[in-house]
Copies of this chain bind each other. A is one copy, B any other.
């Protein structure tokens, strides 16, 4: 496909796609924008095309930790079809770009039909569950170095480019560690020739090297996305 698009929507059969297309609006989302706040009711569900969205839990004392990341392979707002309407976390644009969005009423009606659309959304949700649970495991058992590798790889998978715009401060908020911890970890990765960074720009130089340095968590998540959505997207 020449036009950038959302891969879940792209996997729909023609019939459903034609039915939904009139209800899809393209919106531009900028870095740092909050798509929904913890506990907030949404009007739309988002299907990213070129942006990346982070799901963050915000602690009462202000610190935060990322629990999942969504690009054009997925959808932001699963609570809208899972039945809960809201979730206790925040969705923030991690990399600016575009997204399609759909009114919740249209979403629910199509979901209720129980066809391919429902099937794809539920399979994606299961993949996201794997990502979240693997984040839990990784937070428990692995070093900041390994987690940074995992995080860079997950982001890189959701980008066309080798360059991501992201300060160490922001990465620290995602990983739930100190900014200084990211500085030294990133320094080690740069020294090893895996990445290059400079004031808010990180370039992936040696992707295979990053994969080798990451823990098994990244591959587990990647394999699950492939298994659950691979033949669809």
> Which residues in A have some Cβ–Cβ distance to B below 8 Å?
55, 57, 59-60, 63, 65, 67-68, 78-79, 81-84, 87-89, 112, 114, 119, 122-123, 125-130, 132-137, 139-141, 175-176, 216, 220, 223-224, 227-228
**Contact A82-B137, Cβ < 8 Å, known A130-B88, A132-B129:** no
Residues of B within 8 A of A175 (CB): 140
Q: Which residue of B lies closest to A118 (CB)?
A: B114
Contact between B82 and A133, CB atoms less than 8 A apart = no
Give A134 to B68 CA distance when docked, in angstroms.
Answer: 12
Q: Which residue of B lies closest to A87 (CB)?
A: B130
Give A220 to B82 CA distance when docked, in angstroms.
Answer: 18
Q: Which residue of B lies closest to A227 (CB)?
A: B84
Residues of B within 8 A of A133 (CB): 55, 57, 67-68, 89, 132, 135-136
Contact between B141 and A84, CB atoms less than 8 A apart = no
Give A73 to B47 CA distance when docked, in angstroms.
Answer: 32
**Contact A57-B137, Cβ < 8 Å, known A79-B126, A83-B228:** yes
Residues of B within 8 A of A89 (CB): 133
Q: How far is the CB of A187 from chain B (nearest CB, A)?
A: 22
Q: How far is the CB of A175 from chain B (nearest CB, A)?
A: 8
Contact between B119 and A83, CB atoms less than 8 A apart = yes
Candidate in A59, A123, A128 with the most chain B CB atoms within 10 angstroms: A59
**Contact A84-B123, Cβ < 8 Å, known A63-B141, A133-B68, A176-B140:** yes
Residues of B within 8 A of A84 (CB): 123, 126-127, 224, 227-228
Q: How far is the CB of A218 from chain B (nearest CB, A)?
A: 13
25 contacts between A and B (CB under 8 A): A57-B134, A57-B136, A59-B216, A65-B136, A65-B137, A65-B141, A67-B136, A81-B122, A82-B123, A82-B126, A83-B119, A83-B122, A84-B126, A84-B224, A87-B129, A88-B134, A88-B223, A125-B125, A128-B129, A129-B132, A132-B136, A133-B135, A133-B136, A139-B140, A141-B176
Apart from A79-B126, A114-B114, A133-B135, 12 more pairs, CB < 8 Å: A57-B134, A63-B141, A67-B136, A78-B126, A82-B123, A83-B119, A88-B223, A125-B125, A129-B129, A133-B136, A136-B139, A141-B176
